[in-house]
């Protein structure tokens, strides 16, 4: 049975807990040719309703992706760029290859998409969705100019028209206080 709770109530619950419950994700398994160009940029950033790796973090419209596990909403994020300042749930379509997305502030996850299956509860501490690690990073021409890669979910084969990095892990990095 599904119980709907407003994201506003979840935001209040999140705000009343210690900020130390937030965490970020670091990327491991990058090809050696990228490690020098991405030195210092292995933590995910949030921009344009999705997650990125790379120098996009230097853009004014991006910010560090600090996630929290909020009951009923999966992994949630609260952007200081957004108004209203309400939670945004991370979601994917598990049967489609495409970008990992975030809801509008206070918005609902679209029908057919999954926000509940995310977990780092495994030996490596790697992010999975329902036990699967199908996360990849893809880059189009615009992202290439920013030396950045967008986080995708590979749910139905390889994507067309973009370059992608596979066999990567997103490792939970403890608790953040900022």
State pLDDT tens for residues 10-21: 333 333 333 336
Length of the chain, in residues:
178
Q: Choose the weakest-confidence range: 1-15, 40-54, 77-91, 103-117.
A: 1-15
Rounded mean pLDDT, 49-61 = 93
Query: How many Å apart are CA 157 and CA 177, to the nearest integer?
Result: 38
Kindly indicate the confidence band of residue 37, based on its pLDDT and cuts at 50, 70 and 90.
low
> Could you say which DSSP state residue 92 is in?
B
Model confidence, pTM = 0.82
**Cis peptide upstream of residue 3 (ω within 30 degrees of 0):** no
Q: Average pLDDT, whole number, for the chain?
A: 81
Element (DSSP H or E) covering residue 27: strand 22-28
State pLDDT tens for residues 74-91: 898 888 887 777 889 999
DSSP letter string, 112-140: T-BSS-EE--STT-B-EETTB--EEEEE-
pLDDT value at 41 more than 70: yes
Domain range list for the chain: 7-176
Closest CA to 153 of 171, 166, 140, 172: 166
Query: How many Å apart are CA 147 and CA 41, to the nearest integer?
Result: 10
Residues 6+ apart with CB under 8 A from 45: 51, 52, 53, 54, 56, 57, 62, 63, 64, 65
Kindly indicate the confidence band of residue 121, based on its pLDDT and cuts at 50, 70 and 90.
confident
Q: Burial of 21 by CB count in 10 Å (0-12 exposed, 13-18 middle, 19+ buried)?
A: middle
């Amino acid at each position: 049975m599904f119980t709907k709770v407003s994201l506003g109530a979840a935001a209040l619950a999140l705000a009343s807990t210690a900020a130390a419950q937030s965490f970020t994700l670091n990327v491991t398994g990058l090809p050696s040719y990228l490690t020098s160009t991405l030195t210092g940029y292995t933590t995910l950033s949030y921009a344009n309703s999705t997650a990125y790796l790379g120098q996009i973090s230097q853009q004014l419209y991006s910010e560090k992706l600090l996630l929290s596990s909020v009951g009923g909403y999966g992994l949630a994020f609260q952007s200081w760029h957004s108004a209203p300042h309400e939670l945004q749930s991370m979601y994917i379509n598990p049967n489609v290859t495409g970008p990992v997305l975030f809801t509008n502030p206070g918005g609902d996850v679209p029908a057919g998409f999954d926000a509940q299956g995310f977990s780092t509860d495994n030996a490596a501490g790697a992010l999975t969705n329902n036990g699967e690690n199908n996360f990849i990073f893809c880059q189009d021409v615009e992202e290439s100019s920013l030396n950045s890669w967008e986080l995708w979910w590979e749910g139905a084969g390889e994507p067309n028209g973009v370059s992608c990095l596979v066999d990567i892990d997103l490792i939970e990095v403890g608790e953040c206080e900022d």
